[in-house]
Amino acid sequence: MKTVQELYGEIIASDELKKTFVEAMKADKIEDFLKLHDCEATVEEVREYTETKASEDTPIELSDDELRQVAGGTEVTDTFNSLDETCDCSDTCIRNCC
Residue 27 — pLDDT band, cuts 50, 70, 90? very high
Let me know: does 33 contact 42? Beta carbons within 8 Å.
Answer: no
Q: What is the pLDDT of residue 81?
A: 47
| Helix (H) or strand (E) segment spanning residue 89 | strand 86-89
For residue 14, pLDDT beyond 50:
yes
For residue 7, pLDDT beyond 80:
yes
d(CA 68, CA 79): 20
d(CA 66, CA 35): 47
Q: Which amino acid is at 18?
A: K
In degrees to the nearest 10, what's the CA dihedral of 93, 94, 97, 98? 20
What average pLDDT does range 40-56 have in this prediction?
87
Mean pLDDT of the chain: 77
pTM over 0.75: no
Q: What is the pLDDT of residue 70?
A: 67
